Chain A
Amino acid sequence: MEQVSQNQLLLLFILFTFSTLIGFGANHLIYTSQYDSFLVLCISGLAEVIFAFFVIKLAKRRPNKFFAHYGKDILPTWIHIPVMVLYFVSFLQISALILREYEDFIVQTYLPRTPNWAVGVMFGIVVAVTARLGFENLFRIAQGLFYLCILANIGNLALIGKELQWNRLMAFITNHSGHGIYAGSYFLIPIFGEVLVLLFIFPYLTQKHKTMKSIIWGTIFSVLFIGINIVWLLLLFGPNLTSHLTYPMLEMIRYVRIADFIQNLDHLLISIWATTVFIKITVVFTIAVQILTQLLGLKDHRPLTFSLAAVMVALSVNMASGSVDITNFYTQSWATFSYCLEAIPLLYLVVDTIKQAAKKKEHGR
């Protein structure tokens, strides 16, 4: 079963946090924490590493078993099953949420006459096909796409360089707000906390003892990449304009101009960035499918993928009436909900530790 190398894990995690945060989260982050955004990123990265430490600690106790299976040994079945169902629904919901954001983005910016569901169905098919292939191939796909995305991003940042207003740099030192940092971190930590998926893919990893190291490096790199993008946004538009743009990254890419000939590269770069979103949706969706498979005691997740992908697409279309609803949900309650989701493994860890300690005592007697 061990097919995913640590290198692949590292690359995937960079893509995983990079994709949606840059695309959909940047404006809200800058809105709440202004020039402190980079600081908030670092805090969240640190929180991610600490959280990952506990997740890995829990996963390492039964390294070759799936959480859905061994959870029963820790908490009673009547608690564990509802928890897993909650996870299944939440992961499906999260993938649908990202899909919906992506649909809105594509429809609003490029295909104004295309209905949401058409984009959703197209994307859903790709996600389902990939999920059907399983984690090994998914990680390989991510590995190939990583270099493309990072190269495109770095190229973009380099080309935008001359447009930046460097005198704003001073504000990173002078402008601070305690509440901004707090509110920003409150919003951002759960996004980094999606390292939770590690709990579900742990059995697939090779060289499991190196996982923590990969996560630390992954966090450092993703904070760096995202940080540079955020800093660039702030230097280019300033905090107020950025927070009022729907897709600040898109606007930044539109600034790229090469020799006054190639003017609008955004389509190309956006389609490259879209592949990272695709990776994220697929990872989350595949985990949802696998949880359901394991709960039902099936050997093979493949026959379920297309049905569940249909649910995901329908959910994404049905989720809200407009993109305002989505933004509201994203900014008003999603973070708190994620905290609850991410706290569950900690509960398992505590109970398991207590149980093990009790067992040891009995043995001692």
Chain B
Amino acid sequence: MSIFSKLKIRSQDQQEKKQKRQVFLGEDFDSRLEWFKETFNQSIDITFHELTANHTRCGIIFLQAMVDQQLFDDQVLKYIVSPHFAESGRDLIHKILDLQSVSTMCTSILTDMQEAVDNVLDGKVIVFFEGDSRMIAFPLTSFEKRTGSETTNENVIRGPREAFLEDIHTNVTMVRRRIKSPNLKMDQLIIGRYTKTKVIISHLEGVCREDLVEDIKQRIGRIKIDGVLAGSYIEECIDDRPLSPFPQSQKTERPDVAAAALLEGRVVIFVDGDPVPLIAPVNFYMFLQSAEDYYQRYFLTSFIRLLRYGWLIVSLTFPSFYIAITTFHPEMIPTSLLLSVAASRENVPFPSIVEAFLMEIAFEGLREAGIRTPKAVGQAIGILGAIIIGQAAVQAGIVSAIMVIIVSITGIASFVIPGYDLGFTVRLLRFPIMILAGTFGIFGLMIGTILIYIHVVSLRSFGLPYLSPTAPLRTSDLKDTFIRVPWWLMRTRPSFSGSNDGMRSNINKSILEDDED
């Protein structure tokens, strides 16, 4: 059976299920109440309330901890029970359900019981009356959430410090506050059979390619999963090449980065409950850019960026290079250096590849232990690692001092990369290259690097080639890749954005401007 026909059958199944799920119980009050109680049995946090107003029975259902009860009392309940509000039961129902003359906004009228259940679980108050099949939902959601936080992972010296939170609506507002344009579009999808997680896909109309948005919506819409608790669930489902070690979408905790991505014509995907939205598409070079790059002066930024590329290469190849040189090509290094290397390796019983592996794995272990342990213990781990591995192991002759230096430099190098995902990938790819270098010397190192290069070149992130400004070459995009030119020279938007109708910036500034006259 072809994939397409399978998909077709699946979507038919879903439609049937959807139709089956709808429940209509008519006007009978008791049967509806019974149905709700049965649906919500063994749920202590659901409140059922029954009352009689104007000789009409009405039922109220809500999730206790997710509703602002004070507000409900003031805005709704007070009117319903007041004898002045309506003259009769019929009038009461008419005023509330037909005219919606209550002081709450965004109420909705439902008839499907299942939909009412979904609304209750979403934090709304459902009110229904005897003698009318319709129900009304009041959005009075209010729950405890974390407030006001600062960035913890993507720190900057100059620039905003605000960070996203868990609540999706707060996050969306943070971006909306930065881009005050009706062209900023937000589409919502509900993903997760049980979690019913809100996923908001936002893009800037006119700047972002429409087919890209459609593609992303389709890919997310196709996800069938029990629960979505964070953005990574979605990320892994929509990747172009799910088996690749390279990250194919960017993550950020900074609203300014998300806004910048939108302005470049990229798509930001918010997931409820996750303070780290996804940004797509992405290319390799974006992982080597940090928010700070745009807040510092351009020449400083350009220097730091070039520095990062250097450290990236160091991080990937330095230990392998050392292994290759010491095992196969000692003639490559100057004699004096060779002698000191040989002297430090004299007492070490292992070949350099084993030594390097031991140290690298010890380093990875230390790093992981440092992250997972409580802060107070974390410091102790650092000291232990530094003293025991850095000092005692060398003195005991298990590893050479040069190896300790190399592993530390490589470790630092991998943390210079701003994109945490990419840094991790590079750290992982180091190991196979080390094995290759240990068996074939520089030749093996070259083979390993070419293999990685081939893989990266063939990767695509949502249709955008992963190495895109360099291979294939887009000269106009190079101004924000290896270096960053000043803002007044960034006239056009990146070429992957939807339209280059207008200029990105239009500042008349001559390089030879003379202020002294």
Contacts and interface: CB of A to CB of B under 8 A. Distances in A.
| Chains A and B come from one and the same complex | yes
Interface stretch (B70-78, B131-139, B464-472): B464-472
Given A140-B467, A267-B329, A111 B440 contact: yes
B503 interface: no
B211 interface: no
A140 B457 contact: yes
Contacts of A133: 454, 458
Nearest to B335: A263
B413 to A, nearest CB: 19
Contact of A271 (B445, B454, B467, B473): B445
A114 B328 CA distance: 11
A200 interface: no
A278 B450 contact: yes
B447 interface: yes
A267 B442 contact: yes
B438 interface: no
Interface stretch (A31-39, A121-129, A326-334, A353-361): A121-129
A335 interface: no
A261 B336 CA distance: 9
Contacts of A125: 451
A339 B493 CA distance: 50
Interface in B258-310: none
A122 B447 contact: yes
A171 B43 CA distance: 98
Interface in B400-442: 436, 440-442
Contacts of B329: 110, 264, 267
Nearest to A112: B328
Contacts of A64: none
B442 A271 contact: yes
Given A111-B328, A111-B440, A275-B446, A144 B470 contact: yes
Interface size class of A (residues with CB under 8 A): 20 to 34
Contacts of A118: 440
A8 B472 CA distance: 8
A110 B454 contact: no
Nearest to A122: B447
Contact of B440 (A114, A143, A263, A270): A114
A312 B473 CA distance: 32
Contact of B443 (A119, A143, A144, A264): A119
A118 B331 CA distance: 23
Given A114-B440, A122-B447, A123-B447, A141 B453 contact: yes
A110 B441 contact: yes
A274 interface: yes
Interface centre among B329, B331, B450, B473 (most CB of A within 10 A): B450
B447 A140 contact: no
B133 to A, nearest CB: 58
A144 B453 contact: yes
A336 interface: no
Contact of A122 (B334, B444, B471): B444
A114 B439 CA distance: 9
Nearest to A266: B332
B66 to A, nearest CB: 51
Contacts of B473: 7, 143
A357 B467 CA distance: 48
Contacts of B436: 122
Contact of B465 (A106, A140, A261, A264): A140
Contacts of B451: 125-126, 129
B440 A5 contact: no
Given A262-B334, A263-B334, A111 B441 contact: yes
A268 interface: yes
B443 to A, nearest CB: 6
Nearest to B446: A271
Interface string A95-138: 00000000000100011001000110011011001100100010
Nearest to A271: B446
A265 B442 CA distance: 12
Contacts of A126: 447, 450-451, 454
B471 A275 contact: no
Interface string B337-372: 000000000000000000000000000000000000
Given A140-B467, A143-B473, A110 B450 contact: no
Contact of B472 (A123, A130, A140, A267): A140
Given A8-B472, A122-B447, A126-B451, 13 more contacts: A119-B440, A122-B443, A122-B444, A123-B447, A126-B450, A141-B457, A144-B467, A264-B332, A267-B329, A270-B442, A274-B443, A275-B450, A278-B450
12 contacts: A5-B472, A8-B472, A111-B328, A122-B444, A122-B447, A129-B451, A137-B457, A144-B457, A263-B331, A267-B332, A275-B450, A278-B450
